[in-house]
Amino acid sequence: MAVTALAPDSDEASRILTLAQIEFGRLRGLLAALDDDLLDRAPAEGEWSVRETMVHAISVERSYRANTQHALVRGEDDPLRLPADRRPKPDPADTAGGVLDILASFATRRAETDAALAGLNAAQLVRPSQWGPYEVMHQIDVRFRLHRFASHIVEHAVQCDKTMESLGVTLNDPRAVVRAIGAMRGAHERRSPRATSDALDAALIARADAVGV
């Protein structure tokens, strides 16, 4: 087991974002069981494939970040709603390629979120924002928005899990362990140097090769 001497996250915003990274790690562990040739296979007519689900998940990651940043910088007389010209445009490169390519793109977008929003202070956490189309009825704050990163990843990890099960990729003991490792690695990588995470990855790959996984 690798142990880092770094202190835990000292501010609330970073602790909230760690929850999102844990769930992203769990999602990575889930999708590790998916072959690339199943990425575009829908479980039923009219339902999303895993790739389509990831298009949505990554797009929303970027949208949540843009909306949160708007809440932080807007003037008191500016509208709560993010202006249309500042809304992120879909990037097909985010979900091009195979499973590992998509996960790498998602990891990059998650790192962008962390870089932009970790370390917010107490006053920033209560800055007003908007949820949905009605400013008065759905006014929320930045703290609420930060929590939505993790919950949205959970929602669509569950969706991917159900899709994979319908395609014959069922949960077994090794896959359950990989998901648990993924979640723990998600927490680890926000606190540990990259070299430590790389060493853990190398050890896991060596262990898998040794047992013929």
8 Å CB contact between 210 and 12: no
3-class DSSP state of 19: helix
pLDDT of 121 = 97
Average pLDDT over residues 123-150: 86
8 Å CB contact between 82 and 72: no
Please tell me the least confidently modeled range out of 95-99, 105-109, 154-158, 202-206.
Answer: 202-206
Please tell me the least confidently modeled range out of 35-39, 104-108, 207-211.
Answer: 207-211
At 160-187, the pLDDT tens digits run 999 999 999 998 998 999 999 999 989 8
At 35-70, the pLDDT tens digits run 999 999 999 999 999 999 999 999 999 999 999 999
Structure tokens at 101: 């390519």
Count of other CB atoms within 10 angstroms of residue 61: 22
- Does 4 score more than 60 pLDDT? no
pLDDT of 67 = 95
Burial of 65 (0-12, 13-18, 19+ CB in 10 A): buried
At 107-133, the pLDDT tens digits run 999 999 999 999 999 999 999 998 876
pLDDT level of residue 148 (50, 70, 90 thresholds): very high
Q: What is the CA radius of gyration of the chain?
A: 19
pTM, entire model: 0.88
> What share of the chain in percent tops pLDDT 90?
70
- Does 8 score more than 70 pLDDT? no
Is the dihedral angle over the CA atoms 197, 203, 206, 211 positive or is it negative? negative
Structure tokens at 156: 């669509």
pLDDT level of residue 138 (50, 70, 90 thresholds): confident
> What share of the chain in percent tops pLDDT 70?
91
Which comes out higher in pLDDT, residue 113 or 199? 113
pLDDT of 14 = 95
Sheet strands (E) in 118-160: 128-130, 139-141
pLDDT of 203 = 82
- Distance, in Å, from the CA atom of 13 to the CA atom of 146, rounded to the nearest integer, reads 7
Question: CB-based contacts of 95: which residues, under 8 Å, 6+ apart?
Answer: 51, 54, 55, 58, 102, 105
Give the residue carrying structure tokens 């760690």.
Answer: 18
